Amino acid sequence: DQQVKQNSPSLSVQEGRISILNCDYTNSMFDYFLWYKKYPAEGPTFLISISSIKDKNEDGRFTVFLNKSAKHLSLHIVPSQPGDSAVYFCAASGNNQGGKLIFGQGTELSVKP
């Protein structure tokens, strides 16, 4: 049973526009959510996170929104740049998880010049 789902395997956006990547989860015990970015042949790189006590966290061009009632989070990238082209993974954890992360399947973002 997939506890963290990214239903869009790919997304294509024009440079300068907004990229919105979505993630849904099923486990209400999750209390911390993270986004990772992955380039080919490299390991995932931490991008941004949000605690369940917040509904928004912003870091430069990246903003993560959390809707606990809908068990949904999204990553907004504004403005999108060609260097943002990568696979983005949503991940979740809980206090009783011991640091273990549950990852979604990933969304491949392509930002076209």
Partner 1 sequence: GAGVSQSPRYKVAKRGQDVALRCDPISGHVSLFWYQQALGQGPEFLTYFQNEAQLDKSGLPSDRFFAERPEGSVSTLKIQRTQQEDSAVYLCASSSGTHYGYTFGSGTRLTVV
Summarize as ranges the residues that interact with partner 1 (CB under 8 A).
4, 6, 32, 34, 36, 41-46, 49, 89, 91, 93, 97-106
For residue 73, the minimal CB distance to partner 1 (Å) is: 15
Provide the token pair at 80: 């999108």
DSSP 36: E
Q: Which of 9/16 has CB closer to partner 1?
A: 9
**Cβ 18 to partner 1, closest distance in Å?**
24
CB of 2 to partner 1, least distance (A): 9
SS3 72: strand
Beta strands 86-93 and 32-38 are antiparallel
Q: Which two tokens stand for residue 109?
A: 């973002």
